[in-house]
């Protein structure tokens, strides 16, 4: 009987939120997983919980990504890269927006995904069943006041995904884009706004925002489909968010 080797995935931004949930979902469906983030202590706890391999790295640093790829590929091939690392910083209007916030968002959301994709693409081609999954956002397609920097970064990441899909189909590499709307995680809005009360206000009155686990389930589903099935783009929102500008809030 032929032994089937488990598929192996690399997940960035794995120390919390959607990234950590994605590690759990992939491990639960039989994948070997390399969990990547800057915070080594959190990664180690996740590795002990799930059986994933923890590797600390910074996707905004060329040398760190090169070292990561070298270490990961020394232990075998890779079948999927999940570019989950990202984030939003600030809610200033364009007129007074922080250049450093915009640079930070572009570096982690776009260039971070680019660095990781370039580092692992040869191995994904060699796999014969390689996939690149990029976690973008509904902000990639709909502008909102105070969101120009994040919308621009996620639009850039979306264009990376669309172009990569055109370029890599001939190499049998799938490119999947998952674009969530309102997701309540422990850090996203807090990192953006810097204040717990302001972060809580984002979700005030929303009966059931998406959870990290909701998004991770869709990510795992897309990667576990037969390889010839490519979910080009999946947009998911909570029922209470009918559109980017229409959110049902109770008791408001």
Q: Annotated catalytic sites, by residue?
A: 150
Q: Determine the Cα angle at 182 with ends 180 and 184, to 5°.
A: 110
Give the three-class secondary structure for 252.
Answer: coil
**Phi-psi sector, 14: left (phi>0), alpha (psi -120 to 50), beta:** alpha
Show the tokens assigned to 50. 């799930």
**The two structure tokens encoding residue 202:** 């984002």
Cβ within 8 Å of residue 36, ≥6 positions away: 10, 11, 12, 13, 14, 43, 55, 56, 57, 59, 68, 85
**CB-based contact 110:137 (threshold 8 Å):** no
Q: Which two tokens stand for residue 39?
A: 């915070």
């Amino acid at each position: 009987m032929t032994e089937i080797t488990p598929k192996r995935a690399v997940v960035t931004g794995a120390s919390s939120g959607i990234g950590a949930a994605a590690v759990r979902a992939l491990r639960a469906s039989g994948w070997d997983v390399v969990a990547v983030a800057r915070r080594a202590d959190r990664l180690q706890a996740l590795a002990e919980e799930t059986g994933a391999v923890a590797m600390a790295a910074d996707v905004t640093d060329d040398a760190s990504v090169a070292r990561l790829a070298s270490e990961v590929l020394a232990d075998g091939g890779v079948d999927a890269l999940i570019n989950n690392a990202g984030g939003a910083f600030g809610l200033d209007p364009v007129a007074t927006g922080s250049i450093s916030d915009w640079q930070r968002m572009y570096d982690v959301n776009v260039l971070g995904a680019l660095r990781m994709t370039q580092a692992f693409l040869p191995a994904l081609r060699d796999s014969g069943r390689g996939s690149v999954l990029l976690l973008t956002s509904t902000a990639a397609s709909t502008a909102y006041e105070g969101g120009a920097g994040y919308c621009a970064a996620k639009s850039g990441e979306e264009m990376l995904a669309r172009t990569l899909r055109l370029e890599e189909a001939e190499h049998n590499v799938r490119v999947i884009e998952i674009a969530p709307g309102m997701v309540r995680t422990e850090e996203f809005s807090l990192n953006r706004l810097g204040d717990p009360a302001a972060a809580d206000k984002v979700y005030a009155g929303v009966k059931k925002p998406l959870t990290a686990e909701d998004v991770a389930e869709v990510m795992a589903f897309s990667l576990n489909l037969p390889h010839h099935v490519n979910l080009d783009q999946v947009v998911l929102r909570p029922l209470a968010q009918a559109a980017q500008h229409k959110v049902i809030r109770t008791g408001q």
